Amino acid sequence: MQYKIVFSDIDGTVLTSSHHVLPSTTLAVKELLQKSIPFVLVSARMPQAIRTVTDEMNVNIPMISYGGALVLDDRQNILYDRKISAADTAAVIKEIKLFWQDSVVINYYAGDGWFVEDTENKAVVREENITRVKARQADFAQLLADGVLPNKLLCMTSPPICEMMEKMLGEMFPQLKIMRSSPILLEIMDKTVSKAEGIKIMLEHFGLKANQSIAFGDNYNDLDMLELAGVGVAMNNAPDDVKKTASAVTDDNNHDGIYKFLQKIKLVD
């Protein structure tokens, strides 16, 4: 099979544990682009936080943001844009504040905007340091009144509350996709959103089929895209369940995993 497109998760995959891109990964991406093989970043991150990665590699490439809710081509033209409805946004924020007012930090992501109610919050500052993007202070009710609908809501909290929120909100809002992306992070999006669906949109954009693609990932929220791709490659830092589901396993995100696999299948030199 001649593979014609490569998809990759960011955190724990393209980025090292210190949140940077390995030189070998940058070399591999640039060689793929020279061969007219698109390299597409797929992440729960907002576009601006993905661009910090593409800037580090010095490339302009397509991206699948918010776990599939916002899909952009290499010129940042929108190919797909899925929002949470105003009614659902207002209702879920109301429930979060009712049950966990002082225990949860809500992040409101809309297009290229990241909004919070307190930019000084330690959890927000920590996320800013990781993503190298600045949050903006805003009133969520005012955003809704202005017609600014979110692609994603992200809740930051303690592991026990995060687990409780996933269960309770999942039962309250079956029309939404509510899942933990880490022990302390809960993501809320439209039910139809997934990395695999985002990849399907990108494949259609390029006129390619799933079996012509390779996907790299390291966590449970990458499973659907690893299963969809012609070859789903798990990083060695992935949980065992993810590695068992993947069709191949490569070295971890700190030891040239992406480059070594692409070299092994002779897609790069």
Task: Kindly tell me the burial class for residue 81, based on how many C-beta atoms sit within 10 Å of its own C-beta (0-12, 13-18, 19 or more).
Answer: middle
- Read off the pTM: 0.92
What CATH number matches the domain at 5-81+193-264, 2.40.50.140, 3.40.50.1000, 2.160.10.10, 3.60.15.10?
Answer: 3.40.50.1000
Determine contact, residues 161/130, Cβ cutoff 8 Å: no
Which ranges in 209-250 belong to alpha helices (H)? 223-228, 240-245
- pLDDT beyond 80 at 111: yes
Determine contact, residues 220/235, Cβ cutoff 8 Å: no
What CATH number matches the domain at 86-190, 1.10.260.40, 1.10.10.10, 3.10.180.10, 3.30.1240.10?
Answer: 3.30.1240.10
134-172, pLDDT tens digit by residue? Answer: 999 999 999 999 999 999 999 999 999 999 999 999 999
Model confidence at 132, in pLDDT bands (50, 70, 90)? confident
193-221, pLDDT tens digit by residue? Answer: 999 999 999 999 999 999 999 999 998 88
Q: Which H/E stretch holds residue 217?
A: strand 213-217
Nearest residue to 202 (alpha-carbon basis) of 79, 82, 50: 79
**9 flagged as catalytic:** yes
Q: Which of the pair, 102 or 27, is modelled with greater confidence?
A: 27
Cα dihedral value 252, 64, 96, 137, nearest 10: 100
- Provide the residue ranges of all domains of the chain, joining segments of one domain with +: 5-81+193-264, 86-190
Catalytic residue among 9, 190, 222, 224: 9
- pLDDT beyond 90 at 130: no
- pLDDT beyond 90 at 11: yes
